[in-house]
Amino acid sequence: MTTVKLTYPSTILVVAAIATSLCLLRAQAPATDSRSVWDGVYTEEQAKRGESVYRKECAACHGDMLIGGESAPPLTGGAFLANWNGLSVGDLFDRIRKTMPQSAPGRLTRQQDSDILAFMLSVNKFPAGKTELYRQSEMLKEIRFEAAKPAPKK
Amino acid sequence: MREKTSRRLSALLFLIIVGSFSWPAPVSAQFHPKDTEWPSYAADLAGTRYRPLDQINATNFSDLEIAWRIKTDNFGDRPEYKLEGTPLMVNGVLYATAGSRRAVIALDPATGELLWTHGEHEGKRGGAAPRQLSGRGLAYWSDGREERIFYVTPGFRLICLDAKTGVRIPSFGENGLVDLKLNDDQDIFPDLETGEIGIQSAPVVAKDTVIIGAAFREGMTPKSMRNNKGYVRGFDVRTGKRLWIFHTIPKKGEFGYDTWEKGSAEYTGNTGVWTQITVDEQLGLVYLPVESPTSDFYGGHRPGNNLFGESLVCVDLKTGERKWHFQLVHHALWDMDISSAPILADITVDGKPVKAVAQPTKQGFLYVFDRVTGKPVWPIPERPVEVGNVPGEWYSHTQPIPTKPPAYSRNGVLIDDLIDFTPALRERAKEIASKYHLGPVFTPPTASKREGPLGTLTMGTASGGTNWPGGSYDPETHNVYVYACNSCVEPIGLVPAPKEVSDIAYIAGTAGREVEILHGPGENAGADSPKPPKKAAGGSFSRLDVDGLPLVKPPYGTITAINLDKGEFVWQIAHGETPDVVRNSAILKGMNIPRTGQTTYNIGTLVTKTLVIAGEGNITTTAGHPRGAMLRAYDKMTGKEVGAVYMPAPQTGSPMTYMVNGKQYIVVAVSGGPYSGEYIAYTLPSTGE
């Protein structure tokens, strides 16, 4: 969703323009709102399952605190978030599916990869929700990865 | 079995291209590279990453445009996202390693056109390799007539190729191949296919000797105190015959054996040279930066100082015999390794000429020695350090600490290092830090306890500081230019290892958290591999950031210019755009925060006639550019930024430069996150464009 920063909210004109554009956005919005990682796209239970798989399959290189190692990037923190900001959860899922674990890419099931992803989202403090994360890349591509928490909808 | 896939993609075109370059007829048996070329990984065998080129300079750097680019996705059976290579350019051809196959590619350096490619299909042996993907590069050799390319496969085979065709040279080793798991003064266990040993760095060729070290898996949570050893060997460049070997862990009767008490030299492994090796061909001396022994953070099974672990060792180029050594860290407990190429520098100290070797390190000290004698140029006295209390550990009560130059990056964590944008943030950081043991450089790891400490909070350890890209050296100014992560915080806690996990008493971990068998890259994980022990997970996940902001204050990453005649800083700057998380932070809104640099450790520098050039290691999205990273140029005299050019992904391999057809090019490897590996060549727009 478009976010508008009111850096210079000094003129009535700007406010009026925003009001107009919000109306337009509402008019153009798709039938189903697209979601982001801030909309509770995984469950706590799933993240717990993912943590168990992560410890076994990923922690040796990415570290038990996900801060990376000599040969693996961090999976939490500013650099990680900036890396995926503006892309989709599906992009991140595909990256895991295609290349991880490094010794045997694709060895894990989609469910396991999805669970690991849920764990990563929880560590990065994206909120849990009531439904589990999808297991299909195409569906996950509908979930936007946004580093910053969007302003509350009014 | 392996199968060779060497192909000539465009033989005719290749012949035309190669034929069109006027390489002088051989006048001597030795190859003399020009300074418009980049004939070895670090530009030269002295590890300088320096070329005296100046077509690209402060006035035009920002005008650079992409001359050509090559994705490495198809040089392997899957894309790679960690392209760390630095190409070579010699005699009108650019050579590089590329892709998950670690293929060798030859390109037209002006256009990027693929001339040939070579890959080895190693099957399970490649899949089980401890160091996979494309590695850091290769080596070139010529006697003025014949040209050869050397590289090491992930499965640890030294391959010798005809530089003109990419085909193996049959007279070298066995049909162009030397199996590095053999003839190593040890039996690689458990077997040749899965035995843990490999290398990712580029081979070094000096005179007529190819020198190869060894690397292993990450050593945080090894399964055993026993491992294969990382000896260094020299091979004849023509025949592949082993000329010498240097035992980085001495054998019984050899110097240093007694620094491994209770016979621990017999079973301890690792202690390889996994990074770049430096050579002074004139002196006939080789400089070996040796890594940590088995088990990065616990040394209770290897009591003693453990020579030549974490030592700089000088050996004879012809025989491999030790000339001198200096152990930078006694009884390694911090994974400091020695992670980058030693740098050779002819300097003048107090009016006297010194042939020096300068060693950048993870711990942010630049150790400087007379490279003939091994004597420190400035005193490096033994200083008392904290002794820990991890059961069974053996501690060195002193460590050598350089008096000059001063540390160029943080190498410990103290309260004063914590984030201080606001008093509230400092308080939050103190709260997080209170769960850990803090201290200066060489503060030992602690056993992790639920009630605290969870471990020792360290900087300048496993990541560094300066890691594998190392530094650059400018023979004109006698300055070393070196990038360092100044915020790579690493907690080191130790937990007792369940017997099913490891025979080592303590491995890295956090109290209250599940300990499982950890599968490293390349480790076979089939149906019959041991099942992890069932243990209840406990403890909550603690993070080392404050509302997403780095735990420590800026600068997060720096480039420092250090003058070697004086042992003093010339300048130090924050390298890299302020991270999105800081620039966009609601907490910091309205604050004027100068550029912070970035938290990353794999940045290599390039120095030219006037510039120091380095890319960023993090993605940012700013008002000035879409998501991406910048390749930046600094005035090498002052550190002032003089230009920048956009890259679609962070720099992951160190930049290099060369001239061809009257134009200067800069090539850099980029990758990471969603962006698969790519070499990008930049040059200036042609006149009139």
Domain of residue A129, CATH code: 1.10.760.10
Please state, in angstroms and rounded to a whole number, the distance separating the CA atoms of residues B640 and B629. 19
CA dihedral of residues B556, B559, B560, B561 (deg, nearest 10): -170
What residues of chain A lie within 8 A of the CB of B485, using their CB? Answer: none
In the predicted structure, residue B196 carries a pLDDT above the cut 70: yes
What residues of chain A lie within 8 A of the CB of B514, using their CB? Answer: 52, 55
Asked if B27 contacts B145 with a C-beta cutoff of 8 angstroms, the reply is: no
List B residues 70-99 in contact with A (Cβ-Cβ < 8 A): 78-82
Q: How many residues does chain A have?
A: 154
Please state, in angstroms and rounded to a whole number, the distance separating the CA atoms of residues A71 and A73. 7
Q: In this complex, which of A59, A91, A104 lies closest to B518 when CB atoms are compared?
A: A59
| Contact between B78 and A52 using a beta-carbon 8 Å cutoff | no
A10 belongs to a structural domain: no
Token code pair at residue B300:
């209770």
A8 belongs to a structural domain: no
CA dihedral of residues A101, A102, A103, A106 (deg, nearest 10): 50
pLDDT band at B516 (very low <50, low <70, confident <90, very high): low
In the predicted structure, residue B213 carries a pLDDT above the cut 80: yes
Please state, in angstroms and rounded to a whole number, the distance separating the CA atoms of residues A79 and B673. 10
Token code pair at residue B171:
């007279």
B688 belongs to a structural domain: no
Asked if B181 contacts B190 with a C-beta cutoff of 8 angstroms, the reply is: no
User: Can you say how many angstroms the Cα of residue B624 is from the centroid of all Cα atoms in its chain?
Assistant: 31
| Residue from B210, B211, B248, B242 nearest B227 by CA | B248
| Residue from B376, B371, B365 nearest B338 by CA | B365
What residues of chain B lie within 8 A of the CB of A102, using their CB? Answer: 132, 521-522
Q: How far is B600 from chain A (nearest CA, A)?
A: 8
Q: In this complex, which of B81, B520, B543 lies closest to A76 when CB atoms are compared?
A: B543
Region B585-595: mean pLDDT is: 95
Domain membership of residue B481 as a residue range: 3-523+535-683
In the predicted structure, residue B275 carries a pLDDT above the cut 80: yes
Query: Which residue of B102, B541, B675 to mutate against A (max A Cβ within 10 Å)?
Result: B541
Q: Is the pLDDT higher at B12 or at B103?
A: B103
Please state, in angstroms and rounded to a whole number, the distance separating the CA atoms of residues A58 and A63. 8
B530 belongs to a structural domain: no
* Residue B529 confidence (pLDDT): 33
B402 belongs to a structural domain: yes
Count of structural domains, chain B: 1
* Residue B13 confidence (pLDDT): 41
Judge whether B542 is closer than 8 Å to chain A, CB to CB: yes
B610 belongs to a structural domain: yes
Token code pair at residue B198:
């490999």
- CATH number for B678: 2.140.10.10
Domain membership of residue A113 as a residue range: 35-144
List B residues 317-356 in contact with A (Cβ-Cβ < 8 A): 335
Region B649-660: mean pLDDT is: 98
From A127-136, B494-503, B528-537, the region with the lowest mean pLDDT: B528-537
Residue B663 identity (one-letter amino acid):
K
Strands (E), B553-661: 557-563, 568-574, 606-607, 611-615, 629-635, 641-647, 651-660
Asked if B128 contacts B526 with a C-beta cutoff of 8 angstroms, the reply is: no
pTM: 0.89
Region B563-588: mean pLDDT is: 97
A52 belongs to a structural domain: yes
In the predicted structure, residue B177 carries a pLDDT above the cut 90: yes
Strands (E), B230-280: 232-236, 242-246, 278-280
Q: How far is B623 from chain A (nearest CA, A)?
A: 13
A28 belongs to a structural domain: no
B528 belongs to a structural domain: no
Asked if B144 contacts B29 with a C-beta cutoff of 8 angstroms, the reply is: yes
State which residue of chain B sits closest to A54, comparing Cα positions: B518
Region B278-294: mean pLDDT is: 98
State which residue of chain B sits closest to A93, comparing Cα positions: B674
Q: Angle B211-B217-B218 (CA atoms, 0-180°, nearest 5)?
A: 115
Q: What is the pLDDT along chain A (154 residues), one digit of tens a residue?
A: 334 343 444 444 444 444 444 444 444 444 456 799 999 999 999 999 999 999 999 988 898 889 887 778 999 999 999 999 999 999 999 999 989 998 788 899 999 999 999 999 999 999 999 999 999 999 999 999 999 888 876 5
| Residue from B554, B556, B559 nearest B635 by CA | B559
B514 belongs to a structural domain: yes
* Residue B27 confidence (pLDDT): 40
Q: Is the pLDDT higher at B150 or at B500?
A: B150
List B residues 252-311 in contact with A (Cβ-Cβ < 8 A): none
What residues of chain A lie within 8 A of the CB of B617, using their CB? Answer: 79
What residues of chain B lie within 8 A of the CB of A61, using their CB? Answer: 218, 520-521
In the predicted structure, residue B515 carries a pLDDT above the cut 70: no
A149 belongs to a structural domain: no
| Contact between A79 and B467 using a beta-carbon 8 Å cutoff | no
What residues of chain A lie within 8 A of the CB of B599, using their CB? Answer: 77-79
B149 belongs to a structural domain: yes
From B24-38, B468-482, B660-674, the region with the lowest mean pLDDT: B24-38
Q: In what order do the strands lie in the sheet with B157-162?
A: B139-142, B147-152, B157-162, B177-179
| Residue from A36, A66, A34 nearest A50 by CA | A66
In the predicted structure, residue B523 carries a pLDDT above the cut 70: no
B519 belongs to a structural domain: yes
First vs last C-alpha separation in chain B: 53
Region B149-157: mean pLDDT is: 98
DSSP B250: P
